[in-house]
Amino acid sequence: MPMTMSRARVARRIATAAAFGGGGVGLLGVATVGVLLTEVRLARRTVGGSSDIPPCADGRYGAAFGHRTDRPPLRLGFLGDSTAAGQGVHRASQTPGALLASGLAALSELPVDFRNVALPGAQSDDLERQVELMLAVGTEVPDVCVIMIGANDVTHRIPPAQSVRHLAEAVRRLRAAGCEVVVGTCPDLGSVEPVYQPLRWVARRLSRQLAAAQTIGVIESGGRTVSLGDLLGPEFEARPRELFGPDNYHPSAEGYATAAMAVLPTLCASLGLWPEEERPEPARGEGLLPVEQAAAEAASEGGTEVTASRAPWALLKHRRRRQLPTAETTGPSTVTP
């Protein structure tokens, strides 16, 4: 609990600095940064990374539902970095966007038009460009957008207040356009298998701190968040050969499915399509908490949703997950699964 409260305080300072245009909040000493940079260089030789172009998953999912209703298709947008783009897998149906579009189509029983503008390697400052693409003249505004961003901000030592400011502004612009927004916060980089101590500890600390600060910025800008950090941490550590892809950095198809399964309930709830009520269930560890405390707790427990309530409170939810339908059965005929 003391660590959670400490993380809550630091996250609030970062979010406040972001809101008022401040710089970064120093979390590490000079000596620690020196060790970190040395370990990063060593880790990069081992991890490598992937230069493959992610498969394009854009198109209409659940087209068969269109024959059963005269309601228009739902529109789903995706923004962010390589994780949002689906780097590391070779089939469009294995990307998180395709998985979520398929799940949304199945649960809503409506077709879903999916569009992805995420860019591998993107940092939070690229969200301005991505939002411009998503809201460009001549394009239909999505009903809901999912953003996954933050890992590259940590590895490139972007000041966290700067990262949060860019993300919060993107959420505000999308909300002003009439779009619901769900953010998958920064993943736990301490779970990358070839990364050793002390970098593993530092990476975990920085990524969770950014995730907590992101949550505050997103909630106060009108969006919802789902923590991916702890979800991908223990599960990836326990089964790295299954959940990491060939480059040992990006998720495998099963890893993306794990993340998508955690995001789907919140995605559907943002559109009023999830069967659970929008109130806490104390027996499931849910409740109304101060925003910064909810953000800190969510950063430590994957799959946790944080939604705005009456300021300064936020609703912490652990929604029940459902098995995702396969994108092969609901995916667009124009994309090869």
Active site (catalytic) residues: 82, 247, 250
Query: Nearest Cα to 233, choosing from 264, 205, 261?
Result: 205
Spatial distance between the Cα atoms of 277 and 280, rounded to a whole number of angstroms: 8
Longest CA span, the chain: 63
CA distances from 188 to 17, 162, 228, 252 (A): 23, 19, 7, 16
Spatial distance between the Cα atoms of 244 and 235, rounded to a whole number of angstroms: 10
Q: Using CB atoms within 10 Å of the CB of residue 18, give its burial: 0 to 12 exposed, 13 to 18 middle, 19+ buried.
A: buried
| DSSP sequence for 53-87 | PPPP--EEE-GGGGGS--SPPEEEEEEESHHHHTT
Q: 156 by DSSP, 3-state: which? A: coil
Spatial distance between the Cα atoms of 269 and 322, rounded to a whole number of angstroms: 13
Tokens read off for 190: 């301490």
Tokens read off for 110: 């409506």
Spatial distance between the Cα atoms of 63 and 60, rounded to a whole number of angstroms: 6
Radius of gyration of the CA atoms of the chain, in A: 19
Spatial distance between the Cα atoms of 271 and 146, rounded to a whole number of angstroms: 13
Length of the chain: 337
